[in-house]
Amino acid sequence: MSEVHHVVATTYYRTFSKSYPVLAHIAPGDTVVTKTLDSGGQDLNGDHLSEPGNPLTGPFYIEGAEPGDSISVHLAKVRLNRDWGYTSYRLGLVALTPESIETVYSSRLEMDLVRPNRDDMLPWDIDPEKKTVRARNPQTEAHNLEFDAAPMLGCIGVVPAGDFTPTSGPSGPWGGNIDYNQIREGSTVHLPVFQAGALLYVGDGHALQGDGEPLGSGIETSMDVEFSVSLHRGRELSGPRVETDSHIISVGSQPEFSSSLNRGLQMATTDMVNWLVANYDLEEWAAHQLIGMVGIYDVVTVAGSMALRIPKANLP
For CATH 2.60.120.580, list the domain ranges present in the chain. 4-82+150-233
| CA angle in degrees (0–180, nearest 5) for 136-42-217 | 55
Beta bridge partners of 188: 74, 243
* pLDDT of 238: 97
Q: State how far the Cα of 159 lies from the Cα of 21, in Å rounded to an integer.
A: 13
* pLDDT of 72: 98
* pLDDT of 315: 98
Given CATH 3.30.470.10, say whether it is the number of domain 246-314. no
pTM score: 0.97
* pLDDT of 251: 98
* pLDDT of 171: 98
Task: Say if strands 188-192 and 70-80 run parallel, antiparallel, or are unpaired.
Answer: antiparallel
Give the model's confidence band at 139: pLDDT under 50 very low, under 70 low, under 90 confident, else very high.
confident
How much is the CA Rg of the chain, to the nearest whole Å? 19
Closest CA to 225 of 48, 86, 80, 85: 80
Q: Average pLDDT of 146-167?
A: 98
- Tell me phi and psi for residue 98, to 5 degrees: -55, -35
Q: State how far the Cα of 135 lies from the Cα of 150, in Å rounded to an integer.
A: 15
* pLDDT of 295: 98
* pLDDT of 57: 98
Given CATH 2.20.28.160, say whether it is the number of domain 4-82+150-233. no
- pLDDT digits 0-9 by tens, 267-315: 999 999 999 999 999 999 999 999 999 999 999 999 999 999 999 999 9
- pLDDT digits 0-9 by tens, 206-237: 999 999 999 999 999 999 999 999 999 999 99
On the question of pLDDT at 144 being above 90, the answer is yes
Q: Average pLDDT of 76-97?
A: 97
Closest CA to 257 of 35, 92, 133, 138: 92
- pLDDT digits 0-9 by tens, 24-35: 999 999 999 999
Largest interatomic CA distance in the chain: 62
Surface-to-core class of residue 97, CB atoms within 10 Å of its CB (0-12 exposed, 13-18 middle, 19+ buried) = exposed
Q: Which helix (H) or strand (E) holds 148?
A: strand 146-148
On the question of pLDDT at 138 being above 90, the answer is no
Q: State how far the Cα of 73 lies from the Cα of 190, in Å rounded to an integer.
A: 6
On the question of pLDDT at 137 being above 90, the answer is no
For CATH 3.10.28.20, list the domain ranges present in the chain. 246-314
Give the model's confidence band at 75: pLDDT under 50 very low, under 70 low, under 90 confident, else very high.
very high
On the question of pLDDT at 129 being above 90, the answer is yes
Whole-number average pLDDT of the chain: 97
Give the model's confidence band at 263: pLDDT under 50 very low, under 70 low, under 90 confident, else very high.
very high
- Tell me phi and psi for residue 32, to 5 degrees: -115, 130
- Residue pair 151/204 in contact by the 8 Å Cβ criterion: no
